[in-house]
Amino acid sequence: MKKGFPSNNKAFTLGLDIHSTRPMKIAIEAHDKLKPATYYYKTKGDINGNRRWNLVFPQSPNQMIVNVYDAKFKSYQDYQRFADQSIRDSFSIVREEVLPLKTTPIWLSPEDLSFIKFAKRFSDNASIYSATNPDLTPSIYRSDDGKYTIDYYNKILDRKTKQPVNTPARIGHQTGVIEVSKKDFLKYTVPMRMIILLHEYSHKWKNPASGVRIDNESGADINALYIYLSLGYSPIEAHQAFLYVFDGANNAQNKKRYLILNKFIDDFYAGRLTQFVKEKNAVSTKK
């Protein structure tokens, strides 16, 4: 089934109460009505009877479409084409509820706020922005204050061999320029794009400020997650983003990184991160 919501680029939580007449797995997707490959939420879950889903949207499009379908189908398009009436009748949305988005106020510098605004805009529009130009140079996007730059490529190339590299993004430690792969970002949800961009930002601007080496991956993971989770983004989407990245380099170092970031997420929601919270002059992360 398909439902339209006038989300108006607002931040909110959408509660869905779904009922099924049999045990099954449900897929839920929320996407921009007008832009291709621009998903703000993707999830799957088992249901047998009644179940509640709370979908969080720290950012949203002007008009959002929510698709709910039997997850045995590869996509909503396949569900539309092949699901018979008995399958369609096996579940229904019995209640919809718009709620405030829960955020965690933390201290954010003016630089952080500038980058967050830039990253949101880029994540919203990554599917329609141009990337590599005919002369093989990237399309260049800058923040409003001109401090942050993204070089957008169809696929990031090795600087020496000019062959494609297996990374969705990287940052120049000296220049601070972030390179992004459109081929990869088209596969990612908007929240996944955000955590990747915040990770790269953290390498250059948050790691050194927190006493961590600029090239420390776990440090960038944690600094990015702290901002990302405080803004109310889904931890599920963060997990998915890191798993995509680690899948291309499944090694002991990345396994260790995943354990560290997984513990950080658990500690964040359990309220065990008091050492990260700056009580004085806290800036709300609400939009």
- Distance between CA atoms of residues 276 and 274, nearest Å: 5
Neighbouring-strand partners of residue 93: 18
268 lies in the same domain as 144: yes
pLDDT at position 285: 46
Q: Could you tell me the two tokens for 208?
A: 């050194």
Instruction: Assign 116 to helix, strand or coil.
Output: helix
91 lies in the same domain as 139: no
Assess if residue 281 is contained within a domain.
no
pLDDT band at residue 272 under the 50/70/90 scheme: confident
Q: Quickly list H helices, 202-234.
A: 217-230
Report the C-alpha dihedral over residues 266, 269, 275, 276, rounded to 10 degrees.
Answer: 100
Alpha-carbon distances, residue 83 vs 16, 70, 95, 142 (angstroms): 22, 9, 23, 45
8 lies in the same domain as 66: yes
Q: Provide the residue type at 176 as one letter.
A: G
Question: Are the beta carbons of 202 and 223 closer than 8 angstroms?
Answer: yes
Give the structural domain span for 179. 110-276
What total number of domains does the chain contain? 2
* pLDDT, mean over the chain: 92
Residue recorded with tokens 């983003």: 241
- Distance between CA atoms of residues 58 and 13, nearest Å: 8
166 versus 142: which is more confidently predicted? 142
Query: pLDDT tens digits, residue range 192-216?
Result: 999 999 999 999 999 999 899 999 9
Is residue 283 scored above 50 in pLDDT? no
Q: Could you tell me the two tokens for 27?
A: 């897929």
pLDDT at position 250: 65
88 lies in the same domain as 128: no
pLDDT at position 244: 87
**What is the reported pTM?**
0.93
Query: pLDDT tens digits, residue range 61-114?
Result: 999 999 999 999 999 999 999 999 999 999 999 999 999 999 998 989 999 999
* Cβ-proximal residues to 167 (8 Å cutoff; 6+ apart), any chain: 156, 181, 184, 245, 248
Query: pLDDT tens digits, residue range 153-188?
Result: 999 998 888 889 889 999 999 999 999 999 999 999
114 lies in the same domain as 94: no
Of 118-122, 228-232, 277-281, the range with the lowest mean pLDDT is 277-281
19 lies in the same domain as 74: yes
